Amino acid sequence: MRVSSVAGRGLFAKNPIKAGSVIISLRPHSFALASQYLDSHCSACAAAPNSGLLRCTGCRTVWYCNATCQKNDWLLHRLECSALVNWAKSAPSKSLSVPSDAVRCLGRILWQKERKGFDSSWSKEIDALQSHLHSLQPRVVENNTHLAHSLVRYLGLSSPGELSKFGISSAGDLTDLISRFVTNTFALTSPSLTPVGVSVSPLVALFNHSCDPDAVIVFPRSSQNSAEEPRMQVIALKNISPHEEILTSYIDTTLPRSLRQAALQDTYDFICQCKLCHDDKKVDPRESVWCPTSCGGMCPAPSDGKIFQCAKCHTVVPAPESIADALRIGQEALEKASSIQVTNHVKALQLTTNIIPILVSAGLTPSCHPLLALTGLHKTLLLSSFSEDMSQELLDETIRTAAKHCVGLSTLLLDGHPVRAVALAELGKLLAVDEPSPATSLAANVAFPPSGPPRLKAAYETLVRARNEVMIGFGRDNDGGELGRNIRETLVSLEKELGVWTQGIHNALQDLPKPMKMNNKGC
């Protein structure tokens, strides 16, 4: 660890670190599942078994893989159990009968501090987390105040003054704790990067931010021992030299600079100084449109009424106002569709279906925001439409959308970035899905996606690429974690299926009647 006047504390490499190496592997100090995942994931190890979860008979809110996980969690859950019961009794509606994951995670932190002692190294590490209490935005202050009131209610206290048994002597101490928590919280994710809760790790919080990071934080589920899970790992995305700072990203780096800076300012109270945020010489693919002459070059997406031209042939972008309008409409549609994707799936899918062609016709590149984000959301909505009687049209449309999403991500993210690796794995698995109505004409294999054996071959090749990238983003030492193991199993199955097809062709050729030999007279 080193301290600088610009970025404060940070972590630097002592020795050379290769891409795909696990830099740090630990269990978070505290974590909590989001409410919608409480009945599908284990509250002790965060696993998501297909069946067999055991429900706590006390609070009837949390579930466990088995009796071992339940026993491992009991020291904390015996306190949490009664708090959950009391919260549910006073909840105004069933939808509010479970407190948020942030409230439950904070409760676990305070119970652990009380049990371990305020002078323990565990408690001191929590207390040493960075706080931006005195420079927070008004909106953040309002949210933190609401969180503080919810925490007091969850703990069964009538006022903040009763928090003294947790080492909190004033309302100021409580708001400072909330600020440290919000500033240093990480998303708890599944092996496929789905956010399923929140987590806190003081050591991992020491890594500073860059919009072009050389490391990433993942939960690959690499351990065979459930007591060690969920295991939080920092993985190198690039080769890192000795004395080089190890940087992770706090936000979604596929966003354009203005949105990245706003997110960092709101939550973390700083303005990013990385090269990506201050390189104005190149066209940022996150804010780009294709050259109107189809020369293959990109132009900056129009804004502020300025004149923009192609970086390759210098052609000026015509009608920049119409592109700016398309960007605005696309952003509004993205926000609307994201907000209703759970409550009104049909409407959200209709929005993405209608808006994406408008952005494409306006010339936005696949990596441009909000087209890339809308493409990813459209893929998610299509996937959630799958059923046993799925149509060939739906499957093919989902595959095409997944492929476009991969193209956009590959432009922005490094080889091996877990987001890119997961997208490739999804595309490969979609290509491997049995076709409801395979095409029979040869012309069908010219278009994308192909049909029949060529589709299986495309699935195999895509999954091989995905596995190579997963080995970096989720750690070579982990064999790519749970996702890497799943891809390997799928590849083995595809190899067998392709082998059967190849052998069938060979056998068919063997069964064909052999041509008759001609005699010397040509007969």
Q: Residue 431 is which amino acid? A: L
List all residues 6 or more positions away from 332 whose beta carbon is below 8 Å from its beta carbon: none
Residue 160 pLDDT more than 80? no
Angle among Cα 432, 433, 435 to the nearest 5 degrees reads 115
- For residue 171, the model assigns a pLDDT of 83
Residue 261 pLDDT more than 60? yes
pTM for the full predicted model: 0.91
- For residue 523, the model assigns a pLDDT of 47
Average pLDDT of span 20-49: 97
Q: According to CATH, where is 1.25.40.10 located in the chain?
A: 319-437+447-508
Q: What is the mean pLDDT of the chain?
A: 91
- For residue 208, the model assigns a pLDDT of 95
Residue 169, CA atoms < 13 Å, CB-side half-sphere: 1
281 or 175, which is more confident: 175
Burial of 261 by CB count in 10 Å (0-12 exposed, 13-18 middle, 19+ buried)? middle
List all residues 6 or more positions away from 407 whose beta carbon is below 8 Å from its beta carbon: 366, 367
Residues 463-506: pLDDT tens digits?
999 999 999 999 999 999 999 999 999 999 999 888 876 655 55
Residue 186 pLDDT more than 60? yes
| 98-107, 129-138, 394-403, range with the lowest pLDDT | 129-138
Angle among Cα 326, 327, 331 to the nearest 5 degrees reads 115
Residues 315-331: pLDDT tens digits?
998 888 899 999 999 99
Burial of 487 by CB count in 10 Å (0-12 exposed, 13-18 middle, 19+ buried)? buried
Question: CATH topology for 319-437+447-508?
Answer: 1.25.40
Tell me whether strands 247-248 and 208-209 are parallel, antiparallel or unpaired: parallel
